[in-house]
Structure 1
Amino acid sequence: MAAMAPSPGRGAHKHGVIALILCLLVLQREAWGLLCYCEGLCPDHNNFNGTCEAKPNSFCFSAVETVYDVETDQWKEERTYGCLGPDELGLMQCRAYLTKHQRPKNISCCNESDRCNEHLLPQIIHHKPSVAPQGNFLESLLLVTLPLGFVALLAVIMTVWFRYRQRESSMLEYNKPLGLVIGPNDTLSDLIEQSSGSGSGLPLLVQRTIAKQIQLVQSVGKGRYGEVWLGRWRGEKVAVKIFFTTDEASWVRETEIYQTVLLRHENILGFIAADIKGTGSLTQMLLITDYHQLGSLYDYLQNTTLNYFSMIRLSLSTSCGISHLHTEIFGTKGKPAIAHRDIKSKNILVKRNGECCIADFGLAVKYVSENNELDFGNNRKVGTRRYMAPEVLNETINMSCFESLKMADMYSFGLVLWEIVRRCASESGDRYLLADEYQLPYFDCVPPDPSFEDMHEVVCVRGVRPDIPLRWHYNEVLKTMSKVIQECWHANPAARLTALRVKKTLYKFHVSDGTKIV
């Protein structure tokens, strides 16, 4: 008898019944939720049977906490079991709050089967009480400082941006009403005449344009602040003073002084432009002025013998320049009074017409009587020791009094007049007396580069002044100049002549250019 094969219909029916039962179980779980083991954090403490029902799509959890026991002053681990809320894996629905002595450490979840969390053991993380307070303090500190730091950084950025925009807009406003454009055939004289007429120089944008077009020809001198070059702009000669990077304060100050309203004067060095040029690793601070081929008064006197006319012309023009500096001009756009603070023959230039002009304003001080304020700028350097007044050398000068600064200028100017008059030949009766050779003040009393102590000893302690040659007493012109000089370098600042007084005195001389003395 042949063996009977199993009926395929019956097997398929059996598998279908099993699949139906599984589907019903899944649907039941989705509809009724998950049954979880509960201990410690159960929803209903009055009806506790060791289980809780998680809502559909939720999980069972097992947690480990460290709890601080106040009575024993110790930390201990405590396990809890229960149900999580629907779609919330990080918060426990049955938990109302945590006390300040509790620190949750770790939570593990599952939903594979009913009571799946009963044997779920998350990793125990041991608690160190000394670390927790510090961590909380650092967290609180970061929560406070980070927002404040961000706000402060934002404030700094906004301030810088605002000042930049304010500077740019003020620059545009400064140039806008002038409508000054450099034409192809314009000369420097044309541009200056077209400017505002306030005597404060060309507009800033025009200055930058000119500075970029300057061609340096050759070096013509060096000083403690930088190097002076002969330059050309459209064929015109200009002087270009290139400051050392360590003397940026001098460049800033001199630029400010030259751009002072109503400063332009025939006996003040003509200012053209100022700019900063960067060439990769090199930064150049440029100051562009009129070029005077005869150079400084110091250079000019060494090679030139003067007659009465040229001596008076040099002296009078210098006094006019200093007088213009010292004078305050009142008005809507007035000029402040300015003290030079470094008057010497090297800072005075000789023009082709035989007059002088004052230069080098890196140490200058502004004064406005209306608010009684002195503006020293950011440059704290002092003047040239050889030309310092006694009150500067013995440090008794009142730096808050502008009159004291003016009188210190007049002492230095007295020494410059002495240098000029020495180079003037004279006549006595029918005899011509040759001029003395050029020398610096106190050449016979101090070394070539005197120290502060050297000058203090000679000027203040011993009360020495440069020698007055005997021949000056036999000539009325030189005798009058001698008197002016001695009143300028008087030990008492209040007894010194003002620049205006010297100017009026020298105006009284009526000396013809036809007087030739060789």
Structure 2
Amino acid sequence: MLSRKMDICYVIFPLLLIVSCGFDIATGLKCYCSDCLDGTCDAGDGGRCVTSITKMGGTREDKISYRCLTEAKIPIRVQNGKMQGDTPHCMVSAIKKHESHIICCSGPDLCNQYLKPTYAPATTFIPGDDNSETKLQFGTAELVILIACPVLIVSILFMVLFFAYHQCQRNRHGYQMPNDASQETMPFVQQGQSSSTLREMMYEYSGSGSGLPLLVQRTIARQIQVRETIGKGRYGEVYRGRWRGENVAVKIFPSREERSWFREAEIYQTVMLRHENILGFIAADNKDNGTWTQLWLITDYHENGSLFDYLNRTVVSISGMLKLSLSASCGLAHLHMEIIGTEVHAGKPAIAHRDLKSKNILVKNNGTCCIADLGLAVRHDIATDSVDIAPNNRVGTKRYMAPEVLDESINMTHFESFKRADVYAFGLVLWEITRRCSLGGIVEEYQLPFYDLVPSDPSLEEMRKVVCDDKHRPAIPNRWHSHESLRVMARLMKECWYHNAAARLTTLRIKKTLASIANQEDMKI
């Protein structure tokens, strides 16, 4: 009996051992567990091992958890006719990705022990339809771009509008020049006419008498090499420049005198103004290197300089005196003359100089004069019978001011008033020229008008007292009465000095009288 029981034990024990071993073999996925007593847990077949990290806030360390996820917690979904397993426990919403992270694995055993979950970068989540599977998300870089792009576009648009407005304002005067004209090519350069002279270019382009095209002006200005100073005034300095072997005069205005520069360039380019006895205008340009701006006015160069300089160093004959006087009167007469336009060609308005003096008249190599410095000139608008007053604060030279200008009785709305003031100043210039005429070896030392009555830089009050109150005029030497031409010159200048402006000669009458004297002198020869 005992032997039979032992046989049964020998049979049952191995069976129990086999069953026990069988259960061990059938055990599912083992995972590392942070909350389990033995440090592991059984996820079973089809389960997952999970590692998660969560921010705790404040100064507390981030919490890392290890656990199991059994198959029962993994819902089964059917999508596109296929069975798909997925679980929310292994996913983090877009909003919380920067606060927690979960990683799941399905093998081998303890596969989650070495997983290192990290946070996703901060994102902005724009909620849409809760039932929608796709949500619009923006990262930090995308958010910056989204905000910066509109601001940048608005700024660029504002800058474009600002510079466009600034350019339009300058273009109203016709002189807005680009900072870099090196890439702009000229038609005559492209055609290989590198030997073109300024005279040829003026003849080619001066059909309207208003100067060169602006592109030509800019290109010439960029090619000029400035040399020595040849003059200096209150509103700029004049230099001798070189362009293709030719001398030119470069008058440089500081940026604060932009209005004067605009005005003078504008007057010089008046239609049909070009005349042999008015200084030849070549170009206007501005030079800007980012720290300072120079405003250039480029004209013909005359090495004899101004009439003031010429008379200081030169004694003239009677024919030379008449040549200087007649040519100067021709220039002033053309300036004052109005040319009526047609339907095809624009006319020339009448222009008054307003700052006529010997320093603003240049002497050419052939002994004739040309009138310069038109920065204060005014134009007559015949359509409205109005005067185009220069938009600057400049005033003429006090020594040459007419009585009505000195006592401020001049009618500023009547254009003839300005022409009559020019005639008064021209009479003083004739006096300066005639004093330097040699007759029988006798000649007076050069002096400015009223040199014996006012100081070198007289004030308005001093000039007003001498000219308006005391009614003084420059003295006529006795020797002038001994020669017919000098006697006529003396009478001519007196008729320019009348206190009553309406009684003064016109420039056309002055021109004809001087031409008559010159013809008589030529007949004597």
Normalised to the residue count of structure 1, the TM-score between the two structures is 0.67
Match among 375, 386, 391 for residue 373 of structure 1: 386
1:255-308 alpha-carbon deviations (Å, 9 max, x no partner): 101111111000000111111112342321111111111110001111111111
| Whole-angstrom CA distance in 2 between matches of 1:167 and 1:504 | 41
Three-state SS of the structure 2 residue aligned to 1:195 is helix
* 1:366-405 paired onto structure 2 within 5 Å: 366-405=379-418
Q: Which residue of 1 aligns with 2:306?
A: 296
- Amino acid aligned to 2:512: K
Q: Which residue of 2 aligns with 1:445?
A: 453
Q: Which residue of 1 aligns with 2:200?
A: 190
Match among 197, 212, 237 for residue 202 of structure 1: 212
Q: Which residue of 2 aligns with 1:219?
A: 229
1:432-477 alpha-carbon deviations (Å, 9 max, x no partner): 2511111000000000110111101100111110101111112111
| Whole-angstrom CA distance in 2 between matches of 1:353 and 1:152 | 59
| Whole-angstrom CA distance in 2 between matches of 1:160 and 1:228 | 31
- Amino acid aligned to 2:513: T
| Whole-angstrom CA distance in 2 between matches of 1:229 and 1:280 | 22
- Amino acid aligned to 2:311: L
Contact (CA 8 Å) 1:367, 1:402: kept in 2 or not?
yes
Contact (CA 8 Å) 2:175, 2:262: kept in 1 or not?
no
Match among 288, 312, 316 for residue 278 of structure 1: 288
Q: Which residue of 1 aligns with 2:240?
A: 230
C-alpha deviation, 1:240, in angstroms: 1.0
2:513 is equivalent to residue 505 of structure 1: yes
Contact (CA 8 Å) 1:445, 1:458: kept in 2 or not?
yes
| Whole-angstrom CA distance in 2 between matches of 1:363 and 1:281 | 29
Match among 161, 164, 170 for residue 164 of structure 2: 161
* 1:299-310 paired onto structure 2 within 5 Å: 299-310=309-320
| Whole-angstrom CA distance in 2 between matches of 1:280 and 1:412 | 42
Q: Gaps (5+ residues) in structure 2?
A: 1-74, 76-125, 128-152, 177-183
RMSD: 4.2
C-alpha deviation, 1:250, in angstroms: 1.4
State which structure, 1 or 2, has the greater radius of gyration over its C-alpha atoms.
2
1:98-119 alpha-carbon deviations (Å, 9 max, x no partner): xxxxxxxxxxxxxxxxxxxxxx
* 1:30-429 paired onto structure 2 within 5 Å: 158=161, 161=164, 164=167, 167=171, 183-331=193-341, 332-426=345-439
Change (3 A) 1:408 1:153: farther
1:303-337 alpha-carbon deviations (Å, 9 max, x no partner): 11111111111111111100001111111311111
| Whole-angstrom CA distance in 2 between matches of 1:288 and 1:162 | 27
- Amino acid aligned to 1:386: R
C-alpha deviation, 1:183, in angstroms: 2.7
Change (3 A) 1:450 1:162: closer
- Amino acid aligned to 1:421: T
2:470 is equivalent to residue 462 of structure 1: yes
C-alpha deviation, 1:197, in angstroms: 1.2
Change (3 A) 1:192 1:407: same
Between the aligned residues of both structures, percent identity stands at: 57
Q: Which residue of 1 aligns with 2:487?
A: 479
Three-state SS of the structure 2 residue aligned to 1:197 is helix
C-alpha deviation, 1:246, in angstroms: 2.8
| Whole-angstrom CA distance in 1 between matches of 2:161 and 2:287 | 27
- Amino acid aligned to 2:247: K
| Whole-angstrom CA distance in 1 between matches of 2:204 and 2:238 | 28
Normalised to the residue count of structure 2, the TM-score between the two structures is 0.66
Q: Which residue of 2 aligns with 1:75?
A: none
Contact (CA 8 Å) 1:326, 1:406: kept in 2 or not?
yes
| Whole-angstrom CA distance in 2 between matches of 1:418 and 1:454 | 21
Change (3 A) 1:286 1:158: closer
| Whole-angstrom CA distance in 2 between matches of 1:327 and 1:194 | 25
Change (3 A) 1:453 1:185: same
Contact (CA 8 Å) 1:386, 1:441: kept in 2 or not?
yes
Contact (CA 8 Å) 1:180, 1:194: kept in 2 or not?
no
Q: Gaps (5+ residues) in structure 1?
A: 1-26, 28-88, 91-149, 427-431
- Amino acid aligned to 2:352: A
Q: Which residue of 2 aligns with 1:9?
A: none
Contact (CA 8 Å) 2:265, 2:297: kept in 1 or not?
yes
Change (3 A) 1:278 1:163: closer
| Whole-angstrom CA distance in 2 between matches of 1:167 and 1:220 | 31
Q: Which stretches of structure 1, 4 residues or more, deviate above 4 A after TM superposition?
A: 150-160, 162-168, 178-182, 511-516
Q: Which residue of 2 aligns with 1:495?
A: 503
Larger deviation, residues 328-337 vs 151-160: 151-160
- Amino acid aligned to 1:496: R
- Amino acid aligned to 2:443: A
Three-state SS of the structure 1 residue aligned to 2:209 is coil
Contact (CA 8 Å) 1:228, 1:241: kept in 2 or not?
yes
Change (3 A) 1:365 1:171: closer
* Matched positions, count: 403
Contact (CA 8 Å) 1:328, 1:368: kept in 2 or not?
no
C-alpha deviation, 1:379, in angstroms: 1.6
- Amino acid aligned to 1:467: A
C-alpha deviation, 1:231, in angstroms: 1.0
Contact (CA 8 Å) 2:188, 2:194: kept in 1 or not?
no
Change (3 A) 1:160 1:394: same
Q: Which residue of 1 aligns with 2:86?
A: none
Change (3 A) 1:358 1:316: same
C-alpha deviation, 1:245, in angstroms: 2.8
